[in-house]
């Protein structure tokens, strides 16, 4: 029996496991954008901050299927966002920029966690909380969902003042609170 001493050559084909996963992870950036846009369109317009109990119940009870479908698509989008961040981290580590890779991982985990929290709150409102008759909780969670949306908008604009990305309902809420003090 003879053994070969020739070295094995590595393949750079897309069919190798490492190249396949790296290509898939890099495509996850596009795979994040497409489901999040579709989910945004399906979800519709959420009631504003301070909306009446009847408007909240009508929205969450009347659009339950749309909201839950948008939540499922958003969950898929969050998973793709985290995979894309892993691809960025791997690329930066290969380039010797491990610090930036760690920052990309940490920031994507924070944004992904906030997305997941928003998805969970809205899905819970649509599935059971809005129809329970506890209008104070429904209104509070709806306002909390708006606050999460504001934080996500500010995360998309690094260095921006949070007040510059707050929607009109929040601006009105902040101005009325400032007048009281």
**Does residue 6 belong to any structural domain of this protein?**
no
Lowest mean pLDDT among 57-66, 83-92, 153-162, 170-179: 170-179
Is 63 within the bounds of a domain? Answer: yes
Is the residue at 180 inside a domain?
Answer: no
Q: Could you give the number of structural domains in the chain?
A: 1
Provide the pLDDT for residue 173: 54
Tell me, yes or no, if the pTM score tops 0.85.
Answer: no
Q: Name the residue range of residue 100's domain.
A: 18-158
Q: What is the DSSP string of the chain?
A: -----PPPPPP-STTSHHHHHHHHHHHHHHHHHHHHHHHHHHH-PPPPTT--HHHHHHHHHHTHHHHHHHHHHHHHHHHHHHHHHHHHHHHHHHTT-HHHHHHHHHHHHHHHHHHHHHHHHHHHIIIIIGGGS-HHHHHHHHHHHHHHHHHHHHHHSTT--GGGG--HHHHHHHHHHHHH-
Band the pLDDT of 84: cuts 50, 70, 90.
Answer: confident
Is residue 164 assigned to a domain?
A: no
- Asked whether residue 173 is assigned to any structural domain, the reply reads no
> What does the pLDDT average to over 164-174?
52
Query: pLDDT band at 158, cuts 50/70/90?
Result: low
95 in a structural domain: yes
């Amino acid at each position: 029996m003879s053994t070969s001493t020739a070295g094995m050559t590595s393949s750079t084909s897309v069919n190798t496991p490492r190249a396949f996963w790296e290509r898939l992870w890099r495509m996850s950036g596009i795979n994040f954008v497409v489901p999040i846009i579709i989910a945004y369109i399906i979800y519709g317009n959420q009631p504003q901050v301070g909306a009446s109990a009847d408007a909240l119940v009508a929205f969450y009870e009347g659009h339950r299927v749309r909201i839950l479908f948008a939540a499922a698509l958003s969950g898929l989008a969050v998973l793709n966002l985290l995979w894309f961040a892993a691809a960025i981290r791997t690329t930066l580590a290969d380039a010797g920029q491990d610090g930036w890779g760690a920052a990309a991982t940490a920031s994507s985990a924070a944004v992904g966690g906030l997305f997941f929290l928003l998805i969970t709150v809205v899905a819970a409102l649509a599935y059971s909380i809005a129809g329970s008759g506890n209008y104070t909780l429904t209104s509070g969670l709806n306002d909390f969902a708006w606050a999460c949306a504001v934080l996500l908008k500010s995360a998309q604009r690094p260095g921006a003042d949070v007040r510059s990305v707050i929607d009109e309902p929040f601006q009105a809420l902040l101005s009325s609170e400032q007048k009281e003090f």
